[in-house]
């Protein structure tokens, strides 16, 4: 069974309306609740747990106007026991409030239905001194996520206060995240990336053809903004710096694929069969998407000082880029 608690508030947005799910999240952060994921809030809404001015709504994206009353029944899963495990963690920084990890590719972040052990969370429980811990949701607080096969920098909050502050920064989009990626391009004369910089602004939602994937969709998706910059061009690829204003599922992979520049090694999005045989075999054998979260910058939750942390390129991606650089 899940525990339940009721909250109510009056939305007081002055000049702008706000989505219902975003308004609930903002309120929970403000009243010192641990911030749930947007997907969990959307589940509450779709399960008739939210009322606007006394009327049930099932639309997470409905826009609230100032003065409307929101009532919400918060439900949370019962804590589950997560065993600490001796999993290699590359720690870039640690203090009393937070950890910054350089996550290796292939490491799942949270236990799930298909994997109960061998995750980053199991390793964190062990690292923080516990043989096992009751984890309601995601404690220790992993503030944001990386795909299993994406490497790079990841923030972990050690306490609820730190988690609330960092979650608020993510919500306000004041956290800066830079990724680097190796994408597929046809020879330069046919390249879709004819400029050195660009921005992709296309909504992302569930693919109508395959509900296990995401896609750029004309209707019903969530707004997503991706900025890219070419660091180096190759005959059959480009090494990019990518920053995102939003954090949609598979955002970089979907956006780059939508403009004809899919990530090397990404088996879910895009088609790289136009590569020469040698490069195609190498891309297939690489075993993951060529994407690395290189840098994150934010305001330290305790000192209030700006901080930035960088995760060096992993050896597999460095080697892959060097092969693309040599190919003529």
Give the SS3 label for residue 187. Answer: coil
192, 145: one domain: no
296, 195: one domain: yes
DSSP of 266-320: -SSS---TTS-HHHHHHHHHH-S-SEEEEEEEEE-TTT--EEEEE-PPPHHHHHH
- What are residue 7's DSSP bridge partners? 72
List 21, 147, 149, 266, catalytic entry: 147
Q: How far apart are CA 261 and CA 271, in angstroms?
A: 9
201, 303: one domain: yes
189, 288: one domain: yes
- What pLDDT digit, counting tens, does each position of 143-196 carry? 888 999 999 999 999 888 888 899 889 888 899 999 999 999 876 556 677 888
**How many other C-beta atoms can be found within 10 angstroms of the C-beta atom of residue 193?**
20
The closest of 248, 267, 249, 270 to 259, measured between CA atoms, is 270
Q: How far apart are CA 181 and CA 159, in angstroms?
A: 32
- What pLDDT digit, counting tens, does each position of 276-307 carry? 999 999 999 999 999 999 999 999 999 999 99
Give the SS3 label for residue 69. Answer: strand
| Domain extent at residue 153 | 80-171
- For residue 46, the surrounding DSSP H or E stretch is helix 38-46
Cβ neighbours of residue 94 under 8 Å, at least 6 residues apart? Answer: 100
Give the SS3 label for residue 161. Answer: helix
68, 128: one domain: no
Supply 201's token pair: 């602004």
- What pLDDT digit, counting tens, does each position of 134-156 carry? 554 445 678 888 999 999 999 99
- For residue 120, the surrounding DSSP H or E stretch is helix 120-127
235, 99: one domain: no
194, 314: one domain: yes
- End residue of a domain, out of 41, 76, 111: 76
Identify whether 76 is preceded by a cis peptide bond (ω within 30 of 0). Answer: no
- CATH code where residue 125 lies: 3.30.2350.10
Please answer whether residues 73 and 90 qualify as being in contact, where contact means their C-beta atoms are separated by less than 8 angstroms. Answer: no
246, 314: one domain: yes
- Count up the domains in the chain and report the number: 3
- What pLDDT digit, counting tens, does each position of 234-271 carry? 999 999 999 998 888 899 999 999 988 999 999 899 78
Cβ neighbours of residue 193 under 8 Å, at least 6 residues apart? Answer: 183, 185, 228, 230, 238, 259, 261
104, 56: one domain: no
Q: How far apart are CA 197 and CA 190, in angstroms?
A: 17
pTM, two decimals, is 0.76
65, 108: one domain: no
- Look up 147 and say whether it is catalytic: yes
- What pLDDT digit, counting tens, does each position of 78-128 carry? 556 778 888 999 999 999 999 999 999 999 987 766 677 889 988 998 888
165, 181: one domain: no
Q: How far apart are CA 146 and CA 252, in angstroms?
A: 11
- CATH code where residue 65 lies: 3.10.290.10
**How many other C-beta atoms can be found within 10 angstroms of the C-beta atom of residue 209?**
7
Radius of gyration of the chain (CA): 21
- End residue of a domain, out of 76, 102, 125: 76
- End residue of a domain, out of 153, 171, 189: 171
pLDDT (mean) for 43-53: 88
140, 184: one domain: no
Q: Report the alpha-carbon angle 246-248-253, nearest 5.
A: 105
């Amino acid at each position: 069974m899940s525990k339940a608690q009721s909250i109510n508030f009056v939305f007081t947005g002055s000049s702008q309306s706000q989505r219902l799910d975003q308004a609930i999240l903002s309120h929970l952060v403000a009243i010192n609740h641990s911030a749930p994921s947007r997907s969990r809030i959307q589940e509450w809404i779709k399960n008739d747990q939210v009322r606007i001015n006394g009327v049930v709504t099932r639309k997470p994206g409905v826009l609230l106007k100032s003065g409307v009353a929101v009532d919400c029944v918060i439900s949370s899963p019962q804590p589950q026991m997560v065993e600490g495990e001796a999993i290699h963690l590359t720690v870039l920084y640690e203090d009393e409030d937070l950890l910054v990890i350089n996550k290796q590719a292939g490491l799942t972040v949270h236990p799930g239905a298909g994997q109960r052990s061998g995750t980053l969370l199991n390793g964190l429980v062990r690292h923080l001194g516990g043989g096992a811990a009751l984890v309601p949701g995601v404690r220790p607080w992993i503030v944001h996520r990386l795909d299993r096969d994406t490497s790079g920098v990841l923030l972990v909050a050690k306490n609820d206060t730190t988690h609330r502050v960092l979650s608020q920064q993510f919500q306000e989009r004041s956290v800066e995240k830079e990724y680097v990626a190796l994408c597929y391009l046809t020879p330069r004369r046919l390249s879709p990336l004819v400029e050195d910089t660009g921005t992709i602004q296309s909504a992302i939602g569930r693919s109508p053809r395959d509900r296990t994937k995401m896609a750029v969709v004309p209707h019903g998706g969530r707004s997503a903004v991706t900025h890219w910059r070419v660091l180096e061009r190759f005959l059959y690829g480009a090494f990019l710096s990518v920053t995102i204003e939003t954090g949609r599922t598979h955002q970089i992979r979907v956006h780059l694929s939508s403009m004809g520049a899919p990530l090397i090694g990404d088996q879910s999005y895009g088609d790289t069969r136009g590569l020469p045989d040698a490069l195609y075999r190498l891309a297939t054998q690489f075993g993951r998407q060529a994407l690395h979260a290189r840098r994150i910058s934010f305001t330290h939750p305790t000192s209030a000082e700006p901080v930035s942390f960088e995760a060096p390129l992993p050896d597999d991606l460095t080697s892959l880029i060097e092969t693309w650089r040599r190919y003529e």
